[in-house]
Amino acid sequence: MPSATGDTGAEPPMRAWKFLETGRIAPFGGHTWPAPSGDAPGAWVRFPGREIFACRLDDLPWWIATELWEVEIEAPVRALETQIAAAAGRLLRRIDAWDGPALRAYGVACAERARDLAIQSLIRDGRAEEAQALGRARSMLELSRVARGYAGEGRVRLSANLAGYVAETSMRASEGAAAAAANIAANAAVVALADPSAFDRERQWQARWISEHAGLTAVPVAAV
């Protein structure tokens, strides 16, 4: 368990996950991580005076990118709110199940969660025909178009607000912008349930979706 300062106190290297852009490029720093070769991991990456960052399973929805890697990170490891930090890390293997279709399917799944919340709200507000129309949408673009027509002024406030969220998250999903679709969907849950903690619960659902579809296991654990 992390100490009060966030330091796990672990001595062996640990396993974790890391999202990178195509070509093993760090999304923010622009550094290209060295690739593994055969059964050998990639070279250690370290920056003087700076940490490298990786993910636990629950952190994954915060850092979505096109490539997902299992990484080894050097102890001690600091536990932060949405990531973990260490002095160095190296790539072990790419998660092949996380590819373009999986990324797009993730965005669609998140948008569908927001759609379902909007349907429930429309039904409660006596807008059953509109709820049915949302449910009949055959694509993310169609869902966005239909939902946009149900949002805006002059309508029941909650269901109209949720329709707006559905319009946005489904549009982002149709563009392949899964990270944005997921974030909007999590905010839609807060609005639908009038509960700020719904955001974290939705992020946890998103993390489970990624884990199940990418075949991930609960790490970090001590490296073998």
Q: What is the mean pLDDT of residues 78-102?
A: 96
At 223 the pLDDT is 38
Query: Model confidence at 1, in pLDDT bands (50, 70, 90)?
Result: very low
At 154 the pLDDT is 55
Give 159-181 pLDDT, tens digit per residue. 889 999 999 999 999 999 999 99
3-state DSSP assignment of residue 202:
helix
Give 21-68 pLDDT, tens digit per residue. 999 999 988 999 999 998 899 999 999 999 999 999 999 999 999 999
Angle at 30 between CA 26 and CA 35, to 5 degrees: 55
Give 133-148 pLDDT, tens digit per residue. 999 999 999 999 999 9
| Strand-pair partners of 18 | 69
Predicted TM-score (pTM) of the model is: 0.89
Q: What is the mean pLDDT of residues 104-127?
A: 95
State the alpha helices, DSSP H only, in the chain: 100-124, 128-136, 140-150, 157-174, 178-193, 198-214
